[in-house]
């Protein structure tokens, strides 16, 4: 039976208008990415990981600070750490900044995170994991959610032991990426575990992993009973994938549409991060947007070699002059950013979970 991906659902008292969630991805999920995701059909968007260690170590300054605006809502802000008290304090700050949900990362497999006892490590430390969730739940009035992997080792079923306990501790929704931390992003996500988790808990479960098309999303929802699917890497430089999943095949974007979206993304990122940080940050996006046969490889390599973003923009518009009109329309619809709140917590660039 097909699920209506445009139907709303709820995490406690937060209404989410579609069954598609845009994943939190470190070094990717800046405000421009989240806003774009909402425009293309994501019902819920998530920030990249916010390091709670920044509360204790004031000199920790990584990519930038989290900027939150009302037009992103509903918005989940993801925090990571292993100390219940510090996590609770961070969660309170996140709520004060306007987040609709506080998401806790129990899935990041990157060594810089796991060696601190945070991320996927907490899947094998259920007492501490539950203490973190309980502390965060007590500290905020908004719903608390958890994103996790199946476990640390290949074949682990830790998520099925821990999931119900996290719900008992206060989690209002669980996201499962059924790969092990050891797998990173290799192999396939085992969504039979997602189906088992759905049977064990009475809160919405979001299925993450290998959601790359509408057909795949429908199959996962139908076979697992999950409330929604989460899309991550498939949306990098490709927001049209979100539209295809939610609405059906709308056809590939034109070169002009690709260039317009990329330039808007560039300008919005500069507004958030500043010119200096944005110049290096944006380079990976050129390949993501212009790949998939949209532009020849030498063109992408040429952009990376340009010294300024103004030069990149000029070269893009020279390659697709019709993008200027599309871009003007997109910018006219952009919010002015006057209601943005800048959250004084450093964003992690360790890598996503």
Which residue is catalytic, options 46, 52, 108, 159? 108
How far is Cα 41 from Cα 209, in angstroms, rounded to an integer? Answer: 18
* Secondary element (H or E) of residue 179: strand 173-180
- Interacting residues of 118 by C-beta distance below 8 A, sequence separation 6+: 80, 81, 82, 105, 108
- Interacting residues of 143 by C-beta distance below 8 A, sequence separation 6+: 11, 12, 13, 14, 100, 101, 102, 172, 173
* Secondary element (H or E) of residue 352: none
Residue 108 annotated among the catalytic residues of the structure: yes
User: Measured in Å, how far apart are the chain's first and last C-alpha atoms?
Assistant: 30
- C-alpha distances (whole Å) from 186 to each of 119, 181, 189, 285, 342 are 18, 10, 9, 22, 35
* Secondary element (H or E) of residue 68: strand 65-68
Q: How is residue 328 written in tokens?
A: 């003007």
Tell me the catalytic residues: 108
């Amino acid at each position: 039976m097909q699920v209506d991906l445009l139907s709303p659902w709820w995490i406690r008292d937060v209404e989410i208008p579609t069954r598609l969630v845009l994943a939190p991805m470190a070094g990717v999920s800046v405000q421009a990415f989240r806003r774009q995701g909402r425009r293309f059909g994501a019902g819920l968007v998530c920030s990249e990981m916010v390091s709670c260690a920044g509360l204790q170590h004031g000199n920790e300054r990584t990519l930038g600070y989290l900027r939150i605006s009302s037009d992103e809502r509903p918005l989940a802000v993801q925090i990571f750490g292993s100390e219940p008290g510090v996590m609770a304090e961070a969660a309170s700050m996140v709520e004060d900044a306007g987040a609709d949900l506080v998401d806790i990362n129990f899935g990041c497999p990157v060594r810089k995170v796991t060696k601190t006892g945070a991320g996927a490590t907490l899947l094998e430390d259920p007492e501490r994991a539950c203490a973190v969730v309980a502390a965060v739940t007590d500290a905020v009035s908004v719903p608390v959610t958890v994103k996790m992997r199946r476990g640390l080792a290949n074949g682990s079923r830790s998520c099925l032991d821990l999931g119900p306990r996290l719900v008992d501790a206060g989690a209002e929704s669980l996201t499962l990426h059924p790969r092990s931390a050891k797998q990173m992003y290799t192999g396939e996500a085992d969504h039979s575990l997602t189906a088992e988790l759905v049977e064990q808990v009475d809160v919405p479960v979001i299925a993450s992993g290998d959601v790359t098309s509408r057909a795949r999303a429908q199959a996962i929802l139908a076979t697992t009973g999950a409330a929604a699917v989460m899309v991550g890497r498939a949306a990098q430089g490709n927001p049209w994938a979100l539209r295809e999943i939610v609405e059906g095949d709308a056809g590939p974007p034109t070169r002009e549409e690709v260039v317009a979206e990329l330039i808007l993304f560039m300008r919005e990122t500069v507004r958030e991060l500043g010119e200096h940080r944005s110049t290096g940050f944006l380079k990976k996006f050129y390949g993501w947007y212009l790949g998939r046969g949209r532009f020849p490889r030498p063109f992408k390599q040429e952009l990376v070699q340009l010294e300024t973003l103004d030069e990149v923009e000029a070269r893009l518009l020279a390659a697709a002059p019709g993008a200027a009109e599309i871009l003007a329309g997109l910018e006219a619809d952009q919010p002015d950013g006057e209601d943005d709140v800048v959250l004084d917590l450093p964003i992690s660039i360790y890598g996503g979970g």
